[in-house]
Structure 1
Amino acid sequence: MGVPLDTICGFYHRHVEIVAHIFQQCEFTSLIRMSHPLVVLRTLTLDCDFNVWLTEAVTSFATSKDWSGLDCLLAFLWAIWLTRNNLRFRSEVYSPAGIFATAATWVARSKEARDLSNLSQPSCPPGFGPSLPHFIRLNDPTVECDICLTFDGSWSDKDHRAGMGWYLSSDLSSPPIGGGAQAGFSSSALHVELLACLLGLRHTWDQGYSSVRVFTDCCQVRTLLWGQMSDSISVRPLGFA
């Protein structure tokens, strides 16, 4: 028969808990939103479509390159969701101060990651760290590369959760023209780096590019790829920039 689930909002115990209610309509989270410094959060009305509002808000911050504002928005929503989960599954005590503290922690972490990225690659999307440029090429290594692929992976040795991200650009200093990300599980830090490389190369191939220059901060990836040959792929180290 399954396990019965409580579908009532854990914060205010009055309404069915759906996404729009948690972030938009709940009396508790609405009270917190009204005291947030971001105008876009304070002016979120109860009658608008939450998904449309969130899409427009994120697009606005990204278009204006207001990464700090985007950090604050996403960190606040993430803090509410984490608090909801801790309440629902661990019966933890919650408070407005705790939500703001959690959000501030994630804003600080995002800023640190972005500052580190900007030291080496100011045009890279937020979240991509500095990469040492190891080069490989598909197909004929004498042909000029069609596209640049930058990838990176993250891995937790506690629960083996992993994240892989990649983006394409005409060169390392140019804005991204495409990319992607994927979450999952991995057996090691090297494993997730190789998965990120594989996913990025698949994306590159699907986009119709026949040659690619790869940028990675993992020396083991370059070592493993060095000298691998087949009829359809030729991988050769071209040195460091």
Structure 2
Amino acid sequence: MTAGDRRVVFWDFDGTLAVREGMWTAAVVDALRTVDAGATVDPELVRPHLRSGFPWHESDVVASPPLTADAWAARLAPVFVRALRAQGVPEDVASAASVRVLDEYYRIEPWRVVDGAMDALLQTSDAGYDNVILSNHGPGLPTLVDDLGLSPLISLTITSAAVGIEKPNRLLFAHALRVSDAGDDTWMVGDNPIADVEGAERAGIRALLADAIYPDSRGLTVLQAAHHIVTTPL
């Protein structure tokens, strides 16, 4: 499957290792309030407008070369403006808020590490695996990983924004295998059955669904996933 010789576990980030309260919807609302403290919009009416327009909504599109951090942010600004304008927010206010959304999204306070995630990373690390984060994310992910205290257990953080390719595109998994020097004993753990599980399996990587943080979970906790990995022979 691969030319490398490292034992690697690829971990998704959002919904797998960490969660942000309200996700992108909350970040848009928070950004609006930094511009107009008295503004009121219903997050549930904002949410549908964020179901398209992000790079991972078009995973078959490859950005070559990858966008710079500023260009990545500029690409998303119209998405945020559209979501706010649909709620009656004036154009100038929506535009001013749109450039603050990424700062709000990556602000540390709304984030928390998923219960059991640190122990799961420690378990796989102690078993000789390199823990690598592989996530559809923005340029701010590596700093967020540091801020959450995960870095001591993470060998490498791969954010799709820096590569220009999104899961489940097989090219992103190929890139991850190459830069991590992964060998045959490699796994993917994530909360998305398509982007994480199906995408990894199509690339020849064993995969586990770890979506236990959701009420309608069909998969494992991250600790259960780690235990499965370290007790399953190649």
| Fold shared by both chains (TM-score > 0.5) | no
TM-score between the two structures when normalised by the length of structure 2: 0.33
What TM-score, normalized by structure 1, do the two folds share?
A: 0.32
Higher relative contact order (CA 8 A, sep 6+): 2
